[in-house]
Amino acid sequence: MSGEPELPRIPDTQGPHAESLGEWLRGEGPDVDIALCTRIRFARNVQGYRFSTSLDAREAADLDAFLRRAIASLRIEPPLTTHELTHLDALEREVLVERHLISREHAHSERPRSVAYDAGESVAMMINEEDHLRSQVFRSGLCVGETYRAAEALDDALLGAVPIAFSEQFGFLTACPTNVGTGLRASVMLHLPALVWGDEIERAAHSAQKIHLAVRGMYGEGSRALGDFYQVSNQITLGRTEAEVLEDVETAVRQLVDWERRVRIALLSGRKADQTKDRVFRALGTLQNAHILTSEECLTNLSAVRLGVHQELIQHLTVRDLNQILLLTQPAHLQQLCAERLAPADRDARRAGVVRAVLTRAASR
């Protein structure tokens, strides 16, 4: 048999292009076996402009240009590069969404708008999204304090360069009242397969919701959490200090991390161990062998394999291999990698090919 389609060349994350995974999938940092990434976001608006949602086209272009210049003038590390989204095609914008650098709404909006981010993708500033400026800082692993300090430094630089709308009574003013006050959102992306398999995820989510944190599936719509990825974030921005909010998030996330860790150990003890290994290795076998793979099945199997790698059941794979698969098998990345637009059915075959290519390379290391 010939006819095996040539697999796309997979970028080598071990080599000089290691930064291509971006900060949120770098796979290093405290508790990164469960907490993939910490993110701090500030919502800010510029004095003298209406909110973005109310701007006419000329005003929007004016604001966009103003903020691009302002960001370019900031003396910050790492340096940022600014990209006007209207200069990018739909696929390029979709790639930025999949890398968590811009929101889906920002990709699809028709306003003049931009994004500034650094080479390591640890900082991303959206211009003319719902607010004039949404600054985000990412750190691999669970590190709320460190991420906050980096975001605060960025915000301080911004406040020194741009007149930001602020009210003594309410704090920072934002387009949507849910962000007024601190304009701060702290979120941590968690991988909680053991809580899902052990049927404890509902109770776990509820414990975080009790202190007004939001728990959402990172992939999929509504309450479905494909791949067992969850995002925990604060909802309150008014009436609590930044320090209090950060502590709420950190405390709740630590609780979830400990809980997940206990259940992982239980899943590999006694009579459950065979079932867990069965689930983990079958998932690996499917990823290594499938020739057609939907996005959903890919995420589900990646989740089991990720657990297997972190619990040292699987020795020859690294988390970076899995993160690369997670990133590259998303629709836009897949099409960019294959250098062509693909119908959904063809994507499933290409996705399977990319997964096999990454895993084959890992097995031959």
Sites of contact with a second copy (CB under 8 A): 1, 3, 268, 273-275, 277-278, 281-282, 284-292, 311-313, 349, 352
By beta-carbon proximity to a second copy, the closer residue of 41 and 279 is 279
**Radius of gyration over alpha carbons of the chain, in Å?**
21
Nearest distance from residue 295's CB to a second copy, in Å? Answer: 15
Nearest distance from residue 314's CB to a second copy, in Å? Answer: 10
For CA atoms 288, 217, 186, 114, the dihedral sign is positive
By beta-carbon proximity to a second copy, the closer residue of 21 and 358 is 358
Q: What type of residue is 121?
A: E
Strands 35-44 and 81-84: unpaired
Nearest distance from residue 363's CB to a second copy, in Å? Answer: 11
Nearest distance from residue 103's CB to a second copy, in Å? Answer: 35
Half-sphere exposure of 22 (CA within 13 A, CB side): 25
Going from the C-alpha of 52 to that of each of 112, 130, 239, the distances in angstroms are: 10, 6, 25
How many of the other CB atoms lie within 10 Å of CB of 188?
29
Nearest distance from residue 322's CB to a second copy, in Å? Answer: 16
By beta-carbon proximity to a second copy, the closer residue of 92 and 346 is 346
Q: What residues have CB less than 8 Å from 182, skipping those under 6 apart?
A: 171, 172, 237, 238, 240, 241, 242, 245
By beta-carbon proximity to a second copy, the closer residue of 142 and 352 is 352
Q: Which stretches of the chain are DSSP H helices?
A: 57-73, 90-98, 104-108, 144-161, 193-197, 201-209, 242-267, 272-289, 295-310, 319-328, 331-337, 344-363
By beta-carbon proximity to a second copy, the closer residue of 114 and 329 is 329
Query: What is residue 228's DSSP assignment?
Result: G
By beta-carbon proximity to a second copy, the closer residue of 231 and 288 is 288
Reduced 3-state DSSP string for 106-128: HHHCCCCCEEEECCCCCEEEEEC
Cβ atoms of 234 and 184 closer than 8 Å: yes
Nearest distance from residue 94's CB to a second copy, in Å? Answer: 25
Nearest distance from residue 36's CB to a second copy, in Å? Answer: 23
Q: Which stretches of 75-231 are DSSP H helices?
A: 90-98, 104-108, 144-161, 193-197, 201-209
Cβ atoms of 133 and 116 closer than 8 Å: no
By beta-carbon proximity to a second copy, the closer residue of 22 and 308 is 308
By beta-carbon proximity to a second copy, the closer residue of 134 and 356 is 356
Nearest distance from residue 5's CB to a second copy, in Å? Answer: 9
